[in-house]
Structure formats: C-alpha cells, structure tokens
Amino acid sequence: MAARRIVITGAGAVCAAGMRPADILAAVLAGKSAIGPIRHWDASRWPTQVAGEIPDYDPRTLVPDRKLHKLIRRTDMVGLYAASSAIDASGIVAHRDALPPGEAAAYSDATGVIVGSGGGNFENQYDYFPLLTAADGDLPAFGRELANTVNPMWLLRTLPNNVLGHVGIRYGLKGTNACITSHSVGGLVAVAEAFEALRAGEAERMVAVGHEAPIEPQMVLYYQRMGLLAADALRPFDAARDGSLFGEGAGALVLETEASAAARGAAAKGEVLGSGCATEGLGLLAIRDDGDGPARAIAHALDDAGLAAADVGMIVAHGNGTRASDASEAAAIRKVFGAAPPPVTGFKWAFGHLIAAAGIVESAIALAALEAGVVPGIATLGELDPACAGLPVSRAPQAPRSSVALVLCRGFAGTNAALLLRGR
C-alpha cells in the first residue's frame, strides 16, 4: 500500500518579528532583529536585559473572546492566535460548516489537534507570592487564607494543555489529540506526531501547534546563570557568539491527507515528507561534540521520507547561538551532508529562541521562504567560527538547491528533532 501523501493547507505564526509567516520572513530578509529591551518588568538590574517580545501585545487582538482571557495565560493567547490563523487560512472549518449535519459531524471526528507547549513557567506560581509573604512562615495561616487570596481559576489558567483544549472546543475538532511538553522540540514533534497520525489513518486532518512565552524574571535569571544567554544579540555560528536569547510566540500548521484537501479543492502550501527524532542521553544539559544526536535525527528523517541528503535544498538550523550547540550542530550537518551541504540558515537571531514554539514557527517561515525561492541570510553573522567551518551560512540571501527544506530543533536532555518539508 502506497504511503499517504500529507499536505499543508494552512500556516500561522506570531512572534516579535510579525503576526504572519510572510511578515516574519520579510523582516528576516530585511535583516531586522526584533530583539530589544525587556518591557514585561523592570529588567535594569538583570544580567540579561533583552529578548524578543511581541510589540504592542494586545490580548483582544490575539483572542477576541474576552471571557476566555480570565482562564488562559500569555503563552495560551499566542498559541490560540496561531492556531486560529492556520485554521482560517486552511478553510477546513468553513468547509465543514457548509456540509450537511451528518457529514459535518464525521468531518469533525476525523479532525484532530496536537500541541507542543512549555511544561509551565515560574510565573505560574507568582499568584502565591503575596500570601506567602503575609503568612511569614505560618502554614496554617497560609491555608486559611488561600481560597480568599489566590484566584480559584489558577489551576485552569496553568494547565499545559489549554491551547489543545480550547482549539478543540472553539472549532469543534473531536479527533485524535495530544499535548507534548518536551522543551524546545515540542512544537516540531507536534508536527511529526500529526504527520504520523494522518499516515496511520487516525485522522484526515490535523492541526499542529507550538507555543511559548518564556520571558519572565526567573527564566531569564536562571538561564543566564547556566551560561546560556547572550549579553545583547544572538549570533548563530559566529566566532563571537556568547549565547541565546528568549523570544515569545507560536506557530501552527494544518496538515491534511492529499485526498482530504482534494475533496474540497484546497491548494497545498507545502508537503510534509518525513521526520526523525533522536536523543543523546548524556544529561539535562550535556551534548556530544560530534553532533551524534542531530545527525541521527536527520538520518531518520531522510529515511522516513525516502530521500537522499543531496535532495535537500536548504537547511534551517536550530542555531541557538550557544557555543556547544552551534558547533555540534555544524558537525552533524557535515557528517550527513559531507563537504558540500546545501545553504544553511537560522532564524532565532531575528526574534529570539521561542523554546517549544521554535521548530514549528521556523517551519512556517521555511515554507514561506521556499515559496519565495530564497534562503534568508543571518544578519548578525560577522565571522564564521572555525568550529563551524564548512557550513554554507551567509549574511546575504542564497538560492535553495531544491524545493525541500530540512528544519532542525534541539532541546534539553539531548533531544533532537528533524522535519523535511517540500514547498509548493
């Protein structure tokens, strides 16, 4: 039996650089970085004072239902916005709503949602701080006043699967669903799992989402103390790179079987060809210098797609700007692609590291780049680090070798994910 062809019919993304994939790509091509001073709180005394915040953040623009604002967090807001953007672009709900009731019900049952989210930020606990201070160590007093002080909706607001649940509720999508909390690879794994669900016949349509809003005092402080954050700019593969920087945002893709899209005359924006995941298993922060993890993830993706390394036209690297990650990622690319890899780029320099949303937002931008026939440059690249020698990265745009893009993503605990996409 021939494998089902899985197409992409809708895409959405939001981050500091824009509210749509096309807008974000335009900012990247213009060499504009949206990373700037943190405005969430007074960060003047923090060791890292910059991040990629969404400018003019307005919950009502992201989620029109104001009653829902009391039940969700900032990360959920951006996740719901990206999901709605992708669903609207795909036309799946508009098509479903025009069907007879029986057919519409079956359509909803065959449409699922998989979301990659952060496992919960420190900010989730901030509601308890005033009472902890007032109780001054008196636990019975803390318990007596808890219900009077902490919002009873606290639990519902902090659920990691809020986006999953509210997307299903809002659009009546009743098919297979899951919430993946796997640090930075979460969003890309959501796409991979949605892809597998469609190939396995579990559904006919899937909405994949990744979202994260990690810019908060403790996250910034702790990442900086671990030596992971840069002082002022994110410089992937550069000799002067000194770390990563946070960004906030979300991305979403609507995947369908080719038959589902054809049945309603929907145009495909691209195609998912294959995916791969691999873990190095060394520790929470340790990674191998030789790039074993990402190399195996790439090899799995190529095998899954039935492609050779030479078929890949561009690589969207994880490129988080930390010394060890960039160097080992370069080693992995050399290991798989040899002395002549396809053009390599990265996007985090423009809007920050979106953690769980990183891979899926960068996939949406990759699709837009393939449509435009361009591999964007890395504007913060000055001098290529010798440890990344042989990597075809550039400040200037390049031309892709083919319509196939490889997107790479890495996370804590040595997790690595790779996704192969074909543009239209």
pLDDT in tens, 170-196: 999 999 999 999 999 999 999 999 999
Identity of residue 419: L
pLDDT tens-place string over residues 362-396: 999 999 999 999 999 999 999 999 999 999 999 99
Instruction: Note the pLDDT of residue 409.
Output: 98
CA distance 288 to 47: 28
How confident is the model at residue 1, as a pLDDT? 47
| Residue 342 DSSP one-character state | P
The mean of the pLDDT values for the chain is 95
C-beta separation of 202 from 176 below 8 A: yes
Q: Residue 127: its pLDDT value, please?
A: 87
Angle (nearest 5°) at CA 223 between 222 and 228 = 150
Helices assigned H by DSSP within 74-207: 74-90, 92-97, 101-109, 129-135, 139-149, 154-158, 162-171, 186-199
Tell me where in the chain the CATH 3.40.47.10 domain(s) lie.
6-120+160-423
80-94 per-position pLDDT tens digit:
999 999 999 999 999
3-state secondary structure of 248: coil
Collect all residues with Cβ–Cβ distance below 8 Å to 175 and sequence separation of at least 6.
Answer: 108, 109, 110, 111, 112, 113, 202, 203, 205, 206
pLDDT at 338 over 60: yes
What digits encode the pLDDT tens for the residues 211-270? 999 999 999 999 999 999 999 999 999 999 999 999 999 999 999 999 999 999 999 999
Residue the block writes with tokens 């890899």: 341
pLDDT per residue as tens digits for the range 109-168: 999 999 999 876 888 888 888 989 999 999 999 999 898 888 888 888 888 999 999 999
pLDDT at 2: 61
The span from the CA of 184 to the CA of 68, in Å, is 27
Q: So what's the pLDDT on residue 121? A: 80
DSSP letter (8 states) at residue 395 = S
| Residues 373 and 399 sit within 8 Å (Cβ to Cβ) | yes
294 — pLDDT class (breaks 50, 70, 90): very high
Percent of the chain residues past pLDDT 90, beyond the cut: 88
Cα–Cα distances (Å) from 84 to 13, 16, 77, 158, in that order, read 10, 18, 11, 21
* Tokens of residue 295, six digits: 């190399």
Domain 6-120+160-423 CATH assignment equals 3.40.47.10? yes
Mean pLDDT of 397-404: 98
CA dist 413 and 398 (Å) reads 33
**Cβ contacts of 239 within 8 Å, gap of 6 or more:** 382, 383, 384, 385, 386
Task: State what percent of residues in the chain have pLDDT above 70.
Answer: 99
